[in-house]
A and B are shown apart, each in its own frame.
Chain A
Amino acid sequence: MVRLVCFEWRKHFLKRSIIIAMLLFSVLNIAKVYSIHEESSLLANPGWKDLYWKEWADFGGAITNKRIEKLMNIYLPLEQLTADHTASTKYRTPDTYLSNVYEDWNFFRLNYVDPMKYAYDYKAYAQGVVSAAKENIAFYESVDNSYERNKNAVIAKLFEGRSITSFAYTEMYQYYVQYDFSGLLVLLICLYGLMSVFLHEKVTEMDILLLTSKAGGKATIWAKLIASALFVSSVSFWFWVVDFVSFSIIFDSWDAASSPLFMLVDFIHAALNVSLWQYAILSALIKTAGILVFALAFLFMSILFRNALIPFIISLFISFISIYFEEVTMGSGRIWIKVINPFVLLFNRELFRKIEFVSLVGFPLPSYIAALLLATAWGALLLGGILIVVRKNTLWKGGGNRVHLEV
């Protein structure tokens, strides 16, 4: 079986075209990451970058009262100076860090004061969430609403003890978690790579011949499926690694990895208590799962036809429709509609930025679990579809069973 898988892998995926596409797409991906840095990063400005890392020695690391005091000693005078917009905008006076007071104020506010304030306040905020949730538990018990009661119990447990103790440079992660262009690249490569898996023999009409050989039936089909899964996973991981490494290098940041996920403001209600590096891995795994579901859909499409033309077009069309609906339902409170679309796995910040629940016979199920379950269901359905359609062909081609069918 292993040899069969290896053979299928070599036959379908070890092509020059795929390797060239991977390389070109990787370059494009890195260019895209670079453009995001240039467009959005606060430190894209060299002056800001130098000053940031100079000040980092004073303010980075554990948040202590001494550090806060020191920061406030710099910031409060700046705030007062700029408050009424009458301070001089004279270029580079000796008492400014950057070109003028306003730029200094912007620099400290956006890079240090706001993020540090958020980190410092988070503990109290999380505690507030816990106490509100606990209050809710009592309240919902009094009105006999067990679903809401259980939901709040999960929230209380999740937020219990959350705090941010150290200050890190998280800008890279802020944009990394919002990045999904690589998903489109992977989807396109997989679409191309998978088209030939079942069609290769059909085009040359060798599929009939294949059935007569010993391992030509079930074993070959499974070998093809396994090889495809391996291909999809390796392409995905390659791109997720390229994403992460290029983000880290371009943003010049490796050190926020151990900060908690809720260090990112948009993830203030993060659905999991994980650190950023754990989330990066989890997100990569879930994205791969999403790609696998689409891969099965592509394979299923390709089996239905005799050449790649129509399945390719339909697959592309379906992918875009999924993306369209993902965009429509993004941020929606209608969780079921959101998680039924397997594309949500590729776009999984939607599942983790805020803990949300769906009701499964009165039991609160976190949306990410629901999305995974539904994706599994989609996968099983498509896999079943593939097996049924393929086997039907063998029956037809087998001839001997035809009588049976007609009965």
Chain B
Amino acid sequence: MSIWKYEIKKMLLLHKGLLFICLYFFLSIGTMVILDEPANPEVEMNRMQYRFYLNQVQGPYTEETEHFFTSEANKISDAKVALQRVTDNFYDGYIGEQEFLTSSDSLAIILKNEVGFQLVYNQYVYVRENPDNRKFLNTNGWDGLLSNDSLDFLFILLVLLLVTPIFCYEFESKMDALLLTVKKGAKTHTLCKIGLVFVIVSLLCLVTAGLRYGFYSFKYGLENGDYPLQSLSYFGTSIKDVTLLQSFLWITIGKLLGNLCFATLILFASVCFKKYAITLFSCTTVVLLPYYGLKLESSKFLWPGPLGFMVSTGFFRGNEFKRNLVKDQMELIFREVSFTSWIIVFTITFSLCVVMLIVILHKRTNVWIVQHRKRRRRLPLLILVLGIAVSMLVGCNSFNGVMIEGTYNYSSKGSFENDKYRFYMEQTEFGNNQIVFEDKTSGEKHNLVRNPMTSLTQIGAPIYGDGTYIYYMKIDFEKIGFQESATRFSVIGVDITRFNEKIIFEKKLSTDKGTVLGLVKGNTYVASFYLTVSAFFLDESSLYLIGQSNGQTEIRKINRTTGAMSVLFRIPVLRSFAFDGRTIYFVDEKSQIVKYDTKTDIMTSIIDLVTRDFILTDTELLFLNRKDQQKIYAMNLHDSTIRKLTEVPVLSFRYNNPYITYIGKIDMKEYQLFIDSSSN
């Protein structure tokens, strides 16, 4: 018993094992919390709506589900039409207010969860392909837990730190010879050491698995563990007949075996080489090189040794193909590991482990030596070094606040004007966008984006301006071989006095694994949203993007420092939209203007103001009054008084301080109207 106690004391206290274990859990939890991103961020951004529909179809695919989807799709599209009609009728005076309110409210309830329907419908398309073993469930939690083939690099380092000194320590101090003189120094002691390593590694492995399970269960929820594994698209083509929970347990057992095999390998290497450096080197290369070097993702699972088992998820995947567009044929990207191959790989790995253990026992016996040397200097140094490393992890991004000046209107998303210049968008002959600006006094025209190297960059159409800066967006591409792919979305600010550029926001879009080791992976859902952005604006802490997702126009808010994204709201028909630096104005499905305060997150409707087209100026809200035959009205923003500006119905109008230019609905002619907003 005392040998056990001494060995534990040596491993955990003398070799600072406990410290490393704590550090590992600290870093591991830290990386999970900071770096984890949901597999499908749309679901997280629309949790409520998604839940609403998922709860109705959760479980297997049946005929009822089929009917449900058809009827619900019809219901939603009918509700959209009906709501429009009811609103029109009400504003035209055909129906009373009470009737309008009752019917519009019931319709709005149907439409409230439309996006959730879209998300569940996408899942429906997947489930319908093979209804026998696919079920409806919230996949984000299980996807995060199971759908990856990532190697826990920190865990490898921890195992190396704990296991390598077990034998190397005695070799290093040449005390292994003394062991011959000790009674229990031979077999018993070695067995005890091996046993201890196995126990510690198993415990750590299980605790880590538990921690991951807990994390994903807490963050996304891990319900429906009894559903088949194929419900996750990552395992879509798998032919293994297991449930989600079973596969998690099997994968955990696989990881446990893999890590025990890895620990055995370290012990074996340390007994053979008797030196730290070469033991560490050989063990890391055995794991890391096949992981990063092998071409086919599935090869590592057919490679006898610890690696395949340390990842384990690949044993449950099925054959996967990708169409090669050039050769016009399907290319294998993942080869399924059949049960026979698994048995073979397992047997070889297991026999290797047994052989290694026999060699260790044969070669290795040694003795406990009380160590007196204290090396306190190491600890503060280690903390210092790791502290530096951790501080490197914290990305910092300083920003000098933007002073918002003037207002932003969706209708003028391609132009901006200040006292000196007028900025607007021009299409060039090659179909590229070109942002130009015109000097108001001299009439000279220049390009705003002055980068002479235009290839592999696409300038987006919208621009946004506040007093001193003009912002534009661009997408960078890279071209390797014959494949071109978008790599990065950026928003750039240009100061209007000296035309220096600065980067406001950047987002990596590329999703391929081709870069160095592929440690940073983009998300296709996120990337596809960035590629649809049609307008944007910003304040000092956030960037707001208007883009398409699931066929709907969404306004998303992005934290400029952390990059965290959330959906603010959806706009059924985007025609008018404004931002004054703090409040967002938009038109809801009842044609009412809604004000959203970005600081307090409070949404209020402006009652009695019915319109689809409006423009926000510094002091007034100009709108086409739906209640009065689309005549232009103005509402004062301070006292909410409303005045009429035109006596004729108007088709469309634009505002160019201090003039309104409008097209009359009856004669289709253009008029200009001077408004003196200050007099109000």
Contact = CB atoms under 8 A, between A and B. Distances in A.
Interface in B465-510: 476, 478-482, 487-488, 490, 492, 497-500, 503, 506, 508, 510
A386 B500 CA distance: 41
A327 B506 contact: no
A347 B153 CA distance: 22
Contacts of A171: 481
Contacts of A17: 273, 278, 281
A186 interface: no
A377 interface: no
A316 B165 contact: no
Given A45-B327, A188-B285, A313-B280, A145 B516 contact: no
Interface in A328-378: 328, 330-334, 347, 354-355
Report the contact-size class of chain B (Cβ under 8 Å from the partner).
35 or more
Contacts of A144: 498
A352 B389 CA distance: 28
B633 to A, nearest CB: 42
Contacts of A305: 378, 381
A332 B488 contact: yes
Nearest to A129: B452
Interface stretch (A102-110, A217-225, A281-289): A102-110
B519 A324 contact: yes
B275 interface: yes
A21 B281 contact: yes
Contacts of A130: 452
A269 B490 CA distance: 19
Given A308-B275, A309-B165, A152 B452 contact: yes
Interface stretch (A66-74, A174-182, A206-214, A229-237): A174-182
A123 interface: no
Given A136-B452, A265-B479, A312-B280, A32 B293 contact: yes
A327 B517 contact: yes
B389 A318 contact: yes
Contacts of A330: 487, 508, 515
A266 B476 CA distance: 11
A327 to B, nearest CB: 4
A395 interface: no
A327 B519 contact: yes
Interface stretch (A3-11, A51-59, A191-199): A191-199
Interface in B611-656: none
A328 B522 CA distance: 10
Contact of A312 (B276, B386, B515): B276
A40 B277 CA distance: 37
A280 interface: no
Interface in B169-207: 172
B34 interface: no
A320 interface: yes
Given A180-B516, A314-B385, A331-B487, A309 B281 contact: no
A42 B482 contact: yes
A273 B168 CA distance: 53
B215 to A, nearest CB: 20
B517 A106 contact: no
Interface in A159-174: 159, 171, 174
A328 B394 CA distance: 13
Interface stretch (B41-49, B156-164, B566-574): B156-164
Nearest to B171: A203
Interface in B196-222: none
30 contacts: A25-B289, A40-B481, A42-B481, A140-B450, A143-B498, A148-B498, A159-B452, A181-B292, A192-B278, A269-B455, A305-B378, A305-B381, A307-B168, A308-B276, A309-B164, A310-B161, A310-B382, A313-B280, A317-B157, A318-B389, A321-B389, A323-B517, A324-B519, A324-B520, A327-B516, A327-B518, A328-B520, A330-B515, A331-B476, A331-B508
Given A307-B168, A332-B503, 12 more contacts: A28-B289, A42-B326, A106-B328, A128-B452, A129-B452, A144-B498, A148-B498, A152-B450, A152-B452, A314-B386, A318-B389, A331-B488
Interface of B: 153, 157, 160-161, 164-165, 168, 172, 273, 275-278, 280-281, 284-285, 288-289, 292-293, 295, 326-328, 375, 378, 381-382, 385-386, 389, 392-393, 395, 446, 450, 452-456, 476, 478-482, 487-488, 490, 492, 497-500, 503, 506, 508, 510, 514-520
Interface of A: 17, 21, 25, 28, 31-32, 35, 38-40, 42, 45, 102-103, 106, 110, 114, 125, 128-130, 132-133, 136, 139-140, 143-145, 147-148, 152, 155-156, 159, 171, 174-175, 178, 180-181, 184-185, 188, 191-192, 195-196, 199, 203, 265-266, 268-269, 301, 304-310, 312-314, 316-318, 320-321, 323-328, 330-334, 347, 354-355
Which 8 residue pairs of A and B lie closest in terms of their CB atoms, listed nearest first?
A: A132-B452, A35-B295, A308-B276, A192-B281, A195-B277, A327-B520, A308-B277, A133-B452
